Structure 1
Amino acid sequence: MLEELRKQIDTIDDKIAALYLERQNIVRQIGEEKAANRTALADPSREKKIIARVTKQADDSQKMYLKRVFETIMETSRSYQRQIVTPSTPLTDALHRVLMEGKKYFPVSSSVACQGVEGSYSSIAADKLFEIADITYFRNFEGVFQAVEKGLCDYGVLPIENSAAGSVGAVYDLMKKHNFYIVRSVKLRVCHYLLARKGATLAGIREVYSHEQAISQCSEFLQSLGANVKVIPCANTAVAAEKVASSDRTDIACISSRDCADIYGLGILQGNVQNNASNYTRFICISKNLEIFAPAGRISIMMTLPHESGSLNRVLNKFSTLGLNLTKLESRPLPGTDFEFLFYFDFEGRIEDADTLALIAELDQGSDQFTFLGSYAEVTQ
């Protein structure tokens, strides 16, 4: 009985495949017409009508399944049409111009903006990215964005996420306020140290200063110090080291980088105090210019989506259809809206690929707010 039913399924599948290929042939012809007439690939109103028509044939128990099937069919149709026509937009024109310039390689030296003071993890990341980094320090993350926007520095280096503590929300929130492009990223292994003035002892520490992200990454160690030790957030791990070094107290300490011990003349009370030995922070390098340095295999975008059921899933299906690996999805609330969000996507892909470029053009045209953040390489240190 089971084998007989499976044979019936096989026969039906063969018919579905034949009809699907017949449909794709017509889809190709429509794509060619759209290319000739410069018509948008997507036609949401027609797609809704098709789904409404076909789902009338199903009872309530099957309507949702049939809807999903036709949504997938239409997504693959658009993907096929993208091979035929890539809509011309100001963004795609700009990307084409950059690509036509030929291969460019990441600069060896440049002026770089970092948050904090000497010894910060951002400055360590900058030294990993550039062989010679002329670093200017700024009080906060916004100062880094402004320095790049105003041309005070060619590039800026900012932390974006940590493997243990998650995303750096303050940076994501600033990303929607400023104009910039990501030109490279670095994944840096972060080892935290408890530092204090020479002569201090672990048992005598009563206050520990550090950045809130480092505090989160070292929560287990801090708890082990006991309830009598006060943990105080600072703007930056290196700022915390500077504060401890400038004090005459031996009962305060900081969680900072190993470099800070040498820079500020502090002693190491304990090393590797982070919760996880595999503790990595990802930093982005930003520029005010659209630059793509070889080899660029990662793309970042941000966009709004309609405040309706299934809107995010439809976008994710586009990536899935093209076989693009989504490596990061972050949402941040849009101020002044009724629970609407701005979505950040990182995915593996090459902007030179026609399908990838066409997808970006489609997302650009289909979103009220769309920003191409960059095509770049990520390095690990």
Structure 2
Amino acid sequence: MKRIAVQGIVGSFHEDAAVKYFEEEIEVVECKSFTSVCEMVDSDQVDYAVMAIENSIAGSLLKNYQLIRDYHLRIIGEIYLHIQMNLMVSPGVKAKDITNIYSHPVAFQQCMEYIEQYFPDAKLHEGMDTAAAAKLISDERPPNAAAIGNLRSAELYNLEILETGIETNKKNYTRFLVLSKHGNPTEKANKASLCFEVGHFYGSLASALNVFAENEINLAKIQSVPVIGKPNEYTIHVDIEWGKPHNYDKAIHQVLKSVSSLAILGEYERGELHMHDQ
């Protein structure tokens, strides 16, 4: 059975993503931080890790880009998870009783319109993840409390759902990366994550990116990440997609002339994003 490290506890969106990606019985290893997740992979205590990298509302998790580089991990896959937020309580608690709400900071951000409309005076308690918030109100039964999280955590921790789909944007998705200590080459690879640095002169970044366009490579994402300890210096992270492997190989050889410190973080099969119209 594969051991998969995730940030958070059983019932979290990270666990949802891991189960959906591997499509088999797995052992989820709970970690308190993303750094711990990477350490588990690096020390061979788990087979893989599943780690969030961006959300369609909250944006990118810049620290996670740095962690992947620092631990020299390989991206072997990705999966998009539709994020639905729900208001849950211990049995017997009514909506009119709620004065305290527990969840993850990003979950609060995604549901703020709902909170401001229906619970403007409630005290918000930020925690490690949504599943931990659900477990807390289940175990400790704080008075007049609710949690915001997914349906699985409500099921696991015996909570009642007062309202479903309370997120502001119904087309809310998180992209998760599947990480390994070593690469996992596949003939199905049609996407890669790269990072590099360019010189401080006009046109340097454009010159590098034009290489991909010239070789019919789609630039799916570009993200600059500050270089720690070097003000005004950045590592450029890009996700690229291709139809013809030959074009990808050619582009990689050409882009080396325009950049420094090029690293291929992973080559993998592109994850499918199935939009929900709710």
TM-score of the two chains, using structure 1 as the length reference: 0.68
Question: What residue number does 1:92 align with?
Answer: none
Seen in structure 2, the aligned counterparts of structure 1 residues 290 and 361 have a Cα distance that, compared at 3 Å, is: farther
Question: What is the rounded CA distance, in whole Å, between the counterparts of 1:219 and 1:244 in structure 2?
Answer: 20
Structure 1 position 161, deviation (Å): 1.0
User: Which of 250, 253, 257 pairs up with 1:361?
Assistant: 253
- The answer to whether structure 1 residue 178 and structure 2 residue 71 are counterparts is yes
Question: Against the structure 1 CA distance between its residues 173 and 213, is the aligned structure 2 distance closer, same or farther, given a 3 Å change threshold?
Answer: farther
Matched, 1:345 2:238: yes
Question: Aligned partners of 1:241, 1:170: CA distance in 2, in Å?
Answer: 26
1:294 Cα deviation from its structure 2 partner: 4.1
- CA-CA distance at 1:303 after TM superposition: 1.1
2:38 aligned residue: 145
Partner of 1:304: 197
Between structure 1 and structure 2, the one with the greater Rg is: 1
Q: Distance in 1 between matches of 2:221 and 2:93?
A: 42
Does structure 1 conserve the Cα–Cα contact (< 8 Å) formed by 2:103 and 2:148? yes
Candidates 192, 198, 203, aligned match of 2:85: 192
Structure with the higher helix share, 1 or 2? 1
Say yes or no: does 1:373 pair with 2:244: no
- Give the equivalent residue in structure 2 for 1:64: none
Greater length-normalized contact order (CA 8 Å, ≥ 6 residues apart) = 2
Q: Is the 8 A contact 1:185 1:283 kept in 2?
A: yes
What TM-score, normalized to structure 2? 0.92
* 1:145 shift after superposition: 0.9
Which digits, 9 at most, give the CA deviation of each residue in 1:294-328, with x for residues without a partner? 42211111111112222111112111111211111
Retained in 2: the 8 A contact 1:196–1:250? no
* C-alpha spacing 1:362/1:322, structure 2 compared with 1 (3 Å): closer
Q: Report deviation, 1:191.
A: 0.8
Question: Within 5 A, what are the aligned runs for 1:203-282?
Answer: 203-282=96-175
Deviations 1:64-105 (A, max 9, x none): xxxxxxxxxxxxxxxxxxxxxxxxxxxxxxxxxxxxxxxxxx
The one-letter code matched in structure 1 to 2:12 is S
Q: 1:125 corresponds to which residue?
A: 17
Gaps of at least 5 residues in structure 1 are 1-108
- Aligned to 2:169, the other structure's residue is in SS state coil
Identical positions, percent: 29
Aligned mates of 2:77, 2:172 — CA distance in 1? 20
How far apart are the structure 1 equivalents of 2:131 and 2:228? 32
- Post-superposition CA distance 1:28-67 (Å, at most 9, x none): xxxxxxxxxxxxxxxxxxxxxxxxxxxxxxxxxxxxxxxx
Q: Which of 310, 314, 317 is 2:207 aligned to?
A: 314
Instruction: Tell me by how many angstroms 1:226 deviates.
Output: 3.9
* Structure with the higher fraction of residues in strand conformation: 2
Separation in 1, partners of 2:79, 2:72: 21
Amino acid at match of 1:244: I
Cα displacement (A) at 1:349: 2.1
Secondary structure at the residue paired with 1:221? helix
Instruction: Please list, as runs of the form range in 1=range in 2, the aligned pairs for 1:51-70 lying within 5 A after superposition.
Output: none
Q: Which runs of 5+ in 2 are unaligned?
A: none
CA contact 1:196–1:267 (8 Å) conserved in 2 = yes
**Aligned partner (choices 186, 206, 218) of residue 293 of structure 1:** 186
Residues 208 and 259, structure 2, Cα contact 8 Å, conserved in 1: no
Shift of residue 148 of structure 1? 0.9
Indicate the residue corresponding to 1:114 in structure 2: 6
Residues 324-381 of structure 1: per-residue CA shift (max 9 Å, x gap): 111111111111113111111001126x723312322343465332211111111446
CA distance in 2, matches of 1:112, 1:294: 24
CA shift digits 1:224-281 (9 cap, x unpaired): 1343112222111111111111222241111111001110111112110111111111
| SS of the residue 2:72 aligns to | coil
One-letter amino acid of the counterpart of residue 152, structure 2:
D
Distance 2:93 2:65 in 1: 38
Whole-Å separation in 2 of the counterparts to 1:139 and 1:147: 11
**CA distance in 1: counterparts of 2:92 and 2:13, whole angstroms:** 26
Q: C-alpha root-mean-square deviation of aligned residues, in Å?
A: 1.7
Q: Where do residues 46-125 of structure 1 align in structure 2 (5 Å cutoff)?
A: 110-125=2-17
| Counterpart contact for 2:207–2:258, Cα < 8 Å | no
